[in-house]
């Protein structure tokens, strides 16, 4: 652990923590299964070299070069060469841009995608798959999560271990529903 003994230090940028609350803690709990003590440090700004040297792991996010949907189809978009204008589309783009969390941004983006497909078919601008796993037994309530390189761990709090979504082993009774309760993750020091 960077030449030290004791606690493994995981850094997560504030922007990532805001988009996916609890992500750092969820990853820390998975690493803790290996028998390591893990401390999560939320970084306020882009980490400087001296900050990175104090971390054992730095959680980052690969971002592809995405098209600017606003520029292409918003009525005021500078690349909207055909002058396409629709108040519903404009409102959904603005909602997506102002979304305070990743899930709200995805929801608005999916609504925009649906509206654009109905009103004026366009190419898909983004990937609908935003989860990645390294083990085949990991799934959510909808089925197996297939590896996808676009964005990682966006809904890690919904991952479960077991043979199938309907046969999830549980150590905690949830009544007659048979659904497994989600684990609660806390940051180090809480």
Higher pLDDT, 135 or 35: 35
Q: Which two tokens stand for residue 86?
A: 């629709």
Q: Across the chain, what does the average pLDDT equal?
A: 68
Q: Which residue ranges make up each domain of the chain?
A: 69-119
Whether the pTM exceeds 0.75: the reply is no
Phi-psi region of 69 (alpha: psi -120 to 50; beta: other; left: phi over 0): alpha
Q: Give the confidence band of 190 by pLDDT, cuts at 50, 70, 90.
A: very low
Contact 114, 107 (CB under 8 A): no
Which pLDDT score is estimated for 185?
Answer: 38
pLDDT tens-place string over residues 145-168: 655 544 445 556 666 666 655 544
For residues 11-22, give the mean pLDDT: 81
């Amino acid at each position: 652990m960077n030449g030290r003994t004791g606690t493994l230090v995981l850094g997560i940028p504030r922007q990532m923590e805001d988009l996916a609350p609890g992500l750092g803690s969820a990853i820390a709990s998975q690493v803790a299964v290996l028998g390591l003590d893990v401390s999560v440090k939320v970084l306020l700004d882009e980490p400087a070299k001296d900050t990175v040297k104090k971390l054992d792991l730095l959680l980052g996010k690969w971002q592809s070069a995405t098209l600017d949907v606003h520029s292409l189809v918003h009525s005021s978009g500078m690349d909207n060469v055909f002058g396409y204008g629709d108040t519903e589309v404009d409102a959904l783009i603005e909602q997506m841009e102002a979304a305070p969390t990743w899930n709200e941004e995805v929801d608005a983006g999916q609504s925009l995608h649906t509206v654009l497909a109905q009103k004026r078919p366009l190419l898909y601008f983004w990937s609908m798959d935003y989860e990645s796993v390294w083990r085949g037994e990991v799934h959510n309530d909808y089925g197996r999560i297939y590896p996808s390189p676009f964005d990682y761990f966006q809904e890690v709090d919904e991952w479960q271990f077991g043979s199938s979504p309907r046969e999830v082993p549980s150590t905690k009774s949830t009544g007659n529903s048979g659904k497994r309760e989600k684990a609660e993750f806390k940051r180090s020091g809480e």
